[in-house]
């Protein structure tokens, strides 16, 4: 993750300029460089690490969905929490998200799991830890990303009024507990993982609730339908 690799929308780059220059971020860049020099596979690829911020401009954010860390299988991670690139089979958690969309809003499942269309509408799909080593979930936890993404959420919460935060699972709850989200809508439930989805994620109604809240405050709603195919 060299400075030359960072692809970041101008609003975010300006708002996070000082954060990117912090010592812990320099140490994080060194850590990632060392991991790659040792032959370890790190996901997502360098230019996509900040894909969530680059695809969803700071001024357009209206919903924030917080994930834990990227998918750790080959070809799965592309920098958007819970999303996979076109041509990659949706993992179980994403399949459960689609089940809840269908139950909540009657939106049919698609044959792909690319959520770029959500990100382009202002849904910030942010993983709290933004990189991972192949086949080692959580391997880049406590390397600096948590501090950075806390700052990202602080920036967006301060910049906007009446955001919707979707917190799925204990990890997301704990992340939000560090922040002042007063004045925003906070929706919490179990995680969509197959281990917990039936303990409160399925049936949570978050997608319709988000749009009701946005509409009640004069903000554009989200079209949660995905295109029939992704490119």
Percentage of the chain beyond pLDDT 70 is: 97
pLDDT one-digit tens code per residue, 4-54: 456 799 999 999 999 999 999 999 999 999 999 999 999 999 999 999 999
The DSSP 8-state label assigned to residue 136 in this structure reads: B
pLDDT one-digit tens code per residue, 97-144: 999 999 999 999 888 999 999 999 999 999 999 999 998 999 999 999
pLDDT one-digit tens code per residue, 61-98: 999 999 999 999 999 999 999 999 999 999 999 999 99
pLDDT-derived band at 3 (thresholds 50, 70, 90) equals very low
Residue-wise DSSP of 16-59: THHHHTSHHHHHHHHHHHHHHHTT--EES-GGGTTHHHHHS-GG
Return the active site residues.
69
pLDDT one-digit tens code per residue, 187-208: 999 999 999 999 999 999 999 9
How far, rounded to the nearest angstrom, does the alpha carbon of residue 28 sit from its chain's CA centroid?
19
Task: Say how far apart CA 147 and CA 143 lie, in whole Å.
Answer: 9
Mean pLDDT of 155-173: 94
Task: Say how far apart CA 146 and CA 143 lie, in whole Å.
Answer: 8
Burial of 115-140, coded b for 16+ CB within 10 Å and e otherwise, reads bbbbbebbbbbbbbbbbbeeeeeebb
Task: Say how far apart CA 130 and CA 20 lie, in whole Å.
Answer: 14
pTM of the model: 0.95
Percentage of the chain beyond pLDDT 90 is: 87
């Amino acid at each position: 993750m060299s400075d030359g690799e960072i692809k970041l929308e101008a609003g975010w780059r300006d708002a996070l300029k000082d954060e990117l220059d912090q010592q812990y971020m320099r140490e994080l860049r060194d850590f990632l460089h060392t991991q790659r020099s040792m032959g370890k596979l790190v996901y997502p690829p360098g230019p996509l690490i900040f894909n969530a911020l680059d695809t969803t401009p700071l001024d357009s954010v209206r919903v924030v969905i917080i994930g834990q860390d990227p998918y750790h299988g080959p070809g799965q991670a592309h920098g958007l929490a819970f999303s996979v690139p076109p041509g990659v089979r949706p993992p179980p958690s994403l399949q459960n998200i689609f089940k809840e969309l269908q139950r909540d809003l009657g939106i049919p499942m698609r044959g792909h799991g690319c959520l770029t269309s959500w990100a382009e509408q202002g849904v910030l799909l942010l993983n709290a830890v933004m990189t991972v080593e192949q086949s080692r979930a959580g391997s880049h936890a406590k390397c600096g990303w948590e501090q950075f993404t806390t700052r990202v959420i602080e920036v967006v919460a301060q910049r906007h009024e009446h955001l919707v935060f979707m917190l799925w699972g204990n990890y997301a709850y704990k992340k939000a507990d560090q922040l002042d989200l007063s004045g925003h809508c906070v929706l919490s439930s179990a995680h969509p993982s197959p281990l917990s989805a039936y303990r409160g994620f399925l049936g949570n109604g978050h997608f319709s609730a988000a749009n009701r809240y946005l509409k009640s405050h004069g903000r554009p709603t989200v079209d949660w339908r995905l295109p029939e195919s992704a490119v």
